[in-house]
Amino acid sequence: MKKALFCVLALAIALSPFAPAVAQTRGVGVVVKTNDGATREIKLYNASYALVIGNSRYQFWDSLPGVGSDVVAVRAALEKQGFVVETAENLNSESFNRTITKFIDDHGFEPENRLLIYYAGHGFTLGSSGDKRDLGYVVPVDAPDPKTDEVGFKRKAITMDAILNYAKRIESKHALFLFDSCFSGKLVTRNAITIPPIIEEKVSLPVRQFITAGAADQPVPDESYFRRSFVNALAGDADVNGDGYVTGTELAEYLKEQVTNYSNRSQTPQYGKINDVELDRGDFIFVTGSGKNPKVPILTETSGEAALWKTIEDSTNERDFQRYLERTRSGEFRGTYADAAELKLGRLRKANSLARWERFKGMASGLQKYDYIGPFEDGLAVVADAGGKVGFIDETGREVIAPAYESPETHFSEGLASVKSGGKAGYINKSGEVVIPFKFDIGFEFSEGLAGVIIDGKGAYIDKTGKIVIAPGEFGPGEFRDGLAPINRWDPPISEFIDRTGRVAISGSPAFLGANGFSEGLAAVTYDYKKWGYIDRTGRMVISPIYELTAGFEKGLSWVKVVGQGIGMIDRTGKMIIPPKYESGSWFSEGLMYVEIDGKYGYIDVTDKLVISPEYSLARPFSNGMAVVRIGGGPVGGGKFGVIDRSGAKLLATKYDKIWCEVLAKEGLFGVILNGKKGFADIYGNEFFDF
C-alpha cells in the first residue's frame, strides 16, 4: 500500500541531455532557417553535468524507502540522455549546502554548460512568524520535526530562498529546477504554459525555470508519479509538437497533464520562471529525436547587436566588452564582433594593469610574509611562515588563523581542519578555536560528519564533538562516501567497507586485499594488489579487475593503467575513453588536462586531441583560463616557472625560480621569485618588486 508522505521533494537543475557522458564538449545545438532561406545551427551548450541527491534515512522524520529507486531511475534516464551524473545520499544540513556549492563551483561558472541537480527527500512548508509568508523548505536528514522544535528546524532546513540564491549564483546559460513535492514561497513568477509552434532563437537566452509536483497543501506519495512521468518525458513522450525536441515549457505542460491525471487531481504541478529580467528569457532543450520530420524553425534577426557595438566600440571600459562577450556566449548575440571585442578587452586590461596593481598592492604586500600558500579548500588556504608554523587565510588574503601549528594534517572540510601541536593532531574551526583536543597520532578529513583518526596506533572514527563513534581497532580508516568507508585491516591484511555504525557492509569473496573509497557510486578494489576493478554499493563487481592501477571517478571518468601499455581513462561503464598511452595525467579542468609523454607534460582535450605540445617538466590544472608550468629542473626542484593560457601562449614567461602565490591569479597577478627575490608579476608584462 502506498503511504502518502508529506512534502516529498525532488530538485533538478537541467543539463544537456544528449552529449555523450564524457565527450560532452562536442556541443549541443538546434538547426534553424534564417530569413534568407539559409540554414545554420544555434549552439546551445558545450558540456552537461548532473548531481543526484537522495535523502531517505532521517533522524526525526519518516524514512522514504521509495527515494532510492527514484534516484536510480532518474540517474539512469539522465545518463541515457548524455548527462555526466554525480550522486550523494542522506545529506545533513551542512553537507547539503557544501555538496550543492561544490557542484556549482565545479560546473556552474562555464557559460556554455547546463547543470542538473536532482534532490529526493522530505520537504515542508511553514508559515513565517514575521512577515506571515508561507516558506518552503528542503529537509536535510538532521533537521528536527518543526511540530516539536520549530527553531531547530529553521536552523537546519534549507529555505527556498537559499535555492533561489543557488539559481542566481549559477553563471551557466540554462537551469531547470524540478520539485517532486508540495511547495510554497515566492520563488518564481508562475506563468501560464504556452508552447511555441517552433523553436525560436530566443531559446538560447539565459533562463532559470521551475516545475513543482504540487501546491503547498498537497501531499506527495513516496511512490512518485512525478518521477515516472519525468523519466517518460525524457524518453520523448513530452515532445508534444513532434519536432524532435523537448523544451522546458513542453516538459512543464506534459508533467502537469500526466501527474494531475495519475493522482486523480490530488497533485497539480506548477510552473514558472525566476523573477529576474536577466534570467527569464530562454528555454532549455532536450533533444529526443522523437520527431519523424523535425520542423526547421524560422530564425529572426538578432536585434540590437550592431547598435550596441556601435555604442561601445570606442569605449575604454573593460566591462562593456565583457558584457558583450557574455551575451555572445549565451547565444543572445551571434558574435559578429567577438574577435574585435576580445582584442579590445585584452588591450584595455593591459593598459589598466598598473591601476589594477595599485588596487591589490596592499593585499599582495600582506601575502609576502608567507613562505608557502596552499590551495583554497572550504574557503580557506593553509599558509606557512618562515619558521614553518602554519595558519590559514581567506580568499581576500586576510589572516584568519595566525601561524601557530606544527603542520596541517588536512585542509578545512565540513568546517574543521586537523592540525598538529606538540606532536599530536587535533581539530580547529574556522575561527581558530580548538574544538577537538590534540590527542591523536593522525587526524584525517571529516566526510559525512565523521573523521578517521589514529589513536595509540589504532584506527577509529570520531564525530565533530571529538566523541569516538566507531571504536579503535587494528585498521586504517578511509573516508566515508555514499554512507560507506573502506578500512584496511592489519591482521589479517584485508580490506572491507563499513557503514556509519561500524558494521561491515561489504566484504569481498574472496577477501579484498586493497580498497579505495567510493566516488560517484563506484569503488576500486583488488584481490591480489596486481589487478584492480570497481564494485558498486552492493559489492557487485561492475568493472572487471584488469587494471594495474586505478583512481576514483570524477565527472564520470577515472584514470586506469593498463598492463604493458600506459595510463588512460574509462567511463563508469568501463568503456575506454582516453587510450592507455600516457605515462601519467591529471583530471579535466576547464576542458583540458595535462598528460605525460616521454617524460614531458602537455595538454589534451576531451577528444584526446593534443592541444598544447609536451614541452614542460611540470604542469598544473587550468584555473581562470591559466595554468602554471615549468621547463627544466628535476623531481626535487630547479627549472623555470611560467604561466600559459588554454592555447599554450605564454602569459608569464618561463623564467621565474618559483611561483609561490596564486591567490590573485584571477586578477592576472602571481607571486614569483626571480633570482632569489620575492615579488609579483602580472600577465601583462609588469613586474613588482621592492613595494
For residue 637, what is the DSSP state? B
Asked if residue 248 lies in contact with residue 207, where contact means CB atoms within 8 angstroms, the answer is: yes
Q: Which of 517, 466, 451, 446 is nearest to 488 (CA)?
A: 517
Segments in 3-52 forming alpha helices (H): none
Domains of the chain by range and CATH?
4-287 (3.40.50.1460), 305-351 (no CATH), 478-582 (2.40.128.630)
Asked if residue 566 lies in contact with residue 554, where contact means CB atoms within 8 angstroms, the answer is: no
For residue 510, cis peptide bond before it (omega within 30 degrees of 0): yes
| Residue given cell 591569479 in the structure block | 665
Cell readout for 541 is 563487481
pLDDT at 634: 79
Asked if residue 174 lies in contact with residue 207, where contact means CB atoms within 8 angstroms, the answer is: yes
**Chain-centre distance for alpha carbon 467:** 31
Q: What Rg, from alpha-carbon coordinates, does the chain have?
A: 26
pLDDT at 18: 30
Burial class (CB in 10 A: 0-12, 13-18, 19+), 387: exposed
CA distance 231 to 178: 12
| Residue given cell 508562475 in the structure block | 190
Cell readout for 476 is 586504517
Q: 535 vs 129, 417, 435, 520, CA distance in Å?
A: 49, 30, 37, 11
pLDDT at 116: 84
Cell readout for 302 is 538578432
pLDDT at 402: 93
Which strands sit side by side in the sheet containing 504-512, from one edge to the other?
A: 475-477, 485-489, 495-498, 504-512
Q: 479 vs 408, 414, 431, 517, CA distance in Å?
A: 18, 13, 24, 6
Neighbours of 564 (CB within 10 A): 7
pLDDT at 15: 32
H or E element in which residue 450 lies: strand 450-455
Which strands sit side by side in the sheet containing 450-455, from one edge to the other?
A: 442-447, 450-455, 458-462, 468-473
Q: Profile the chain (691 residues) by mean pLDDT over runs of 10 residues.
A: 36 33 45 52 75 88 84 83 83 91 86 84 75 76 91 90 87 83 50 49 75 67 76 83 76 82 76 77 74 42 66 84 76 76 83 89 92 86 90 92 90 92 94 95 94 95 96 95 92 93 93 93 92 94 94 89 92 92 89 92 92 95 90 85 91 94 90 94 91 86
Segments in 193-304 forming alpha helices (H): 225-232, 248-262
Cell readout for 580 is 592507455
Cell readout for 96 is 547539503
Q: Which of 94, 595, 87, 157 is nearest to 378 (CA)?
A: 94
pLDDT at 502: 95
Neighbours of 359 (CB within 10 A): 10
CA distance 645 to 419: 35
286 beta partners: 246
Q: 522 vs 248, 267, 284, 476, 664, CA distance in Å?
A: 32, 36, 31, 20, 36
pLDDT at 454: 95
pLDDT at 446: 95
pLDDT at 72: 84
